[in-house]
Amino acid sequence: MSVTVDIPLNLRTRMPLVLVMGDALASLFDHGSGTPRLVLIGDGAIWLRVDRPQDLPGIALAMRQWRDGQAPDGVVLSIAPALHADADVLSQSLRVARQALADASRIVSVRLPGYVAVYQRLTRIASSDANAARRWHCVSSGTPLVDARRFEALIRNAEDDACRHAGERYASAHAAALASIVGWTQRMVFGTLTDPRQPATPWALYGAGWIDCGPASDAHKPWEQDVQMQTHIAPASVEASPAPWPLPQSLIEAMPRRIVTSPRVAAFAHAIGIVALAAGAAILGAGRNNAALLERLQADMDRYAAVTPEHDAARRDALKALVADRDELDRYARTGVPLRLSFGLYRGAQLLPTLNTAIASYQPPAPPPAVVTLDSMSLFDSGKAQLKPGSTRVLVEAVEMIKAHPGKRILVAGHTDNVGNAASNLKLSNARAAALRDWLIEASGIPATQFAVQGYGDTRPIVANDTPQGRAKNRRVEITLVPDTANVAN
| 205-211 vs 408-415, strand pairing mode | unpaired
For residues 79 and 85, is the Cβ–Cβ distance under 8 A? no
Among 137-146, 190-199, 386-395, 453-462, the range with the most confident prediction by mean pLDDT is: 453-462
Q: What is the DSSP letter of 407?
A: T
Q: Rounded to 10 degrees, what is the CA torsion of 67, 260, 72, 192?
A: 160
Number of residues in the chain: 490
Tally the C-alpha atoms within 13 A of residue 431's C-alpha that lie toward its C-beta.
Answer: 14
Out of 4-8, 284-288, 293-297, 394-398, least confident range: 4-8
In the chain, the domains with their CATH numbers are 2-260 (no CATH), 274-360 (no CATH), 370-489 (3.30.1330.60)
The proportion of the chain whose per-residue pLDDT surpasses 90, expressed as a percent, equals: 23
Separation CA 178–CA 156 (nearest Å): 10
Position 149 scores a pLDDT of: 65
* Gyration radius (Cα) of the chain, Å: 37
Q: Who has greater pLDDT, 26 or 402?
A: 26
CA distances from 78 to 96, 184, 403 (A): 13, 16, 74
For residues 188 and 88, is the Cβ–Cβ distance under 8 A? no
Position 25 scores a pLDDT of: 93
Confidence of residue 486 (pLDDT cuts 50, 70, 90): very low
Q: Is the pLDDT of residue 444 over 50?
A: yes
Q: What is the pLDDT of residues 299-355, one digit of tens each?
A: 988 988 888 887 888 888 888 888 998 888 888 888 888 888 877 778 778 888 888
